[in-house]
Amino acid sequence: MASTSRYDANKVCCSSHPEAPLIEDYRAGDQICSECGLVVGDRVIDVGSEWRTFSNEKSGVDPSRVGGPENPLLGGSDLTTMIGPGRGDASYDTFGVARYQNRRTMNSSDRALINAFKEINAMADRINLPRTIVDRANNLFKQVHDGRNLKGRSNDAIASACLYIACRQEGVPRTFKEICAVSKISKREIGRCFKLILKALETSVDLITTGDFMSRFCSNLGLPNMVQRAATHIARKAVELDIVPGRSPISVAAAAIYMASQASEDKRSQKEIGDIAGVADVTIRQSYKLMYPHAASLFPPDFKFATPIDQLPQM
């Protein structure tokens, strides 16, 4: 009687028993027919894990796989073999130089990218930036590096500027002073690279507003939500009424925080606010002088004054 099953040439199966399940011998790397014992395939690649892994392990590296994942920002050098340090006499020549070096396995372009990515990651860790910002900064640096648009500029300066742009584009801007504090580059050089990158990549960033920094500054100062809401309202009204023309959003935000805190029970000095905001005391005083005559119209109507407006400090 003819068999009703049909042999599929594209399917790995037994020619005599195409419907029979195959048994995999992982030790020998063979696939064996469960009916007749015919070895259908040999030298099968084991796709299982190299080591056992446990879910309660807290290390950040998954030991079930050898090596890290492929990095799409690199040209393939992350998949090459890395030679470990030698320990025997055969690893060194007569002059004590290592016979096998990793420098030859990676081109200079990928080496520069890896060093820049490490620098961006280190700066982001110092100011607690999330991974999404680091990835965006890495992509920006990759575009600048491939386009060769900023020849003559140091990679550290370009990396710092890319991190600053990534923060602005992700909606969590940081000041130049904050980036400069975690970088080895001057504020002026970061600013120059920032403008050159925007021009080279033909991209843009949203304008900085006082609300971008208000919640972070108030949180670092330990101010309650009532003071934060009042400071946000004061800064927004001051900009709408054009009371502080030509002043940077950071100085306006610092002056608004000072005014709101002085009217509440949680008072903060100009020096405390200046240290957090990264602005000088005199800068806060200049913005506060412009805002003080209009204080009655700047405060929100539901604000509970601990200190009346007429008793606020006069500069």
SS3 of 99-126: the string is CCCHHHHCCHHHHHHHHHHHHHHHHHHH
Please check whether residue 82 lies inside any domain of the structure: no
Please check whether residue 85 lies inside any domain of the structure: no
d(CA 123, CA 119): 6
pLDDT recorded at residue 252 = 93
Report the amino acid identity of residue 29.
G
Same domain, yes or no, for 215 and 297?
A: yes
Same domain, yes or no, for 267 and 287?
A: yes
How many separate domains does the chain show? Answer: 3
Contact 274, 255 (CB under 8 A): no
Q: Which residues lie closer than 8 Å to 152 by C-beta, 6 or more apart?
A: none
Structural domain range at position 125: 108-201
The residue out of 201, 229, 259 marking a domain boundary is: 201
The residue out of 179, 201, 223 marking a domain boundary is: 201
CATH of the domain at 36: 2.20.25.10
pLDDT recorded at residue 106 = 63
Same domain, yes or no, for 236 and 191?
A: no
Report the amino acid identity of residue 23.
I
Same domain, yes or no, for 159 and 251?
A: no
pLDDT recorded at residue 286 = 92
The residue out of 149, 169, 201 marking a domain boundary is: 201
CATH of the domain at 243: 1.10.472.10
d(CA 39, CA 113): 48
Please check whether residue 242 lies inside any domain of the structure: yes
Please check whether residue 293 lies inside any domain of the structure: yes
Same domain, yes or no, for 214 and 306?
A: yes
Please check whether residue 196 lies inside any domain of the structure: yes
pLDDT recorded at residue 288 = 92
d(CA 2, CA 153): 78
Please check whether residue 28 lies inside any domain of the structure: yes
- For residue 280, what are the CA distances in angstroms to 212, 250, 277? 19, 11, 9
Please check whether residue 147 lies inside any domain of the structure: yes
Please check whether residue 280 lies inside any domain of the structure: yes
Same domain, yes or no, for 195 and 237?
A: no
Same domain, yes or no, for 226 and 298?
A: yes
- Nearest alpha-carbon partner for 313 in 273, 239, 252, 261: 261
Per-residue pLDDT of the chain (315 residues; tens, 9 = 90+): 344 444 455 677 888 888 888 888 877 778 889 888 888 887 776 666 666 656 555 455 555 555 556 667 776 545 555 666 666 666 677 676 766 665 555 677 878 888 999 999 999 999 889 999 999 999 999 999 888 878 888 899 999 999 999 999 998 889 888 899 899 889 899 999 999 999 988 888 888 888 888 988 999 999 999 999 999 999 999 999 999 998 999 999 999 999 999 999 999 999 999 999 888 999 999 999 999 999 889 999 888 888 888 888 887
Q: State the burial class of residue 256 (Cβ atoms within 10 Å of its Cβ: 0-12, 13-18, 19+).
A: buried
- Nearest alpha-carbon partner for 106 in 140, 75, 151: 75
SS3 214: helix
Same domain, yes or no, for 191 and 112?
A: yes
Same domain, yes or no, for 174 and 225?
A: no
Contact 184, 156 (CB under 8 A): yes
22: part of which helix (H) or strand (E)? strand 22-25
d(CA 30, CA 50): 18
Q: Which residues lie closer than 8 Å to 58 by C-beta, 6 or more apart?
A: none
Same domain, yes or no, for 306 and 231?
A: yes
Same domain, yes or no, for 154 and 222?
A: no
Same domain, yes or no, for 195 and 249?
A: no
Phi and psi at residue 263, in whole multiples of 5°? -85, -5
pLDDT recorded at residue 5 = 43
**207: its two tokens:** 């304008």
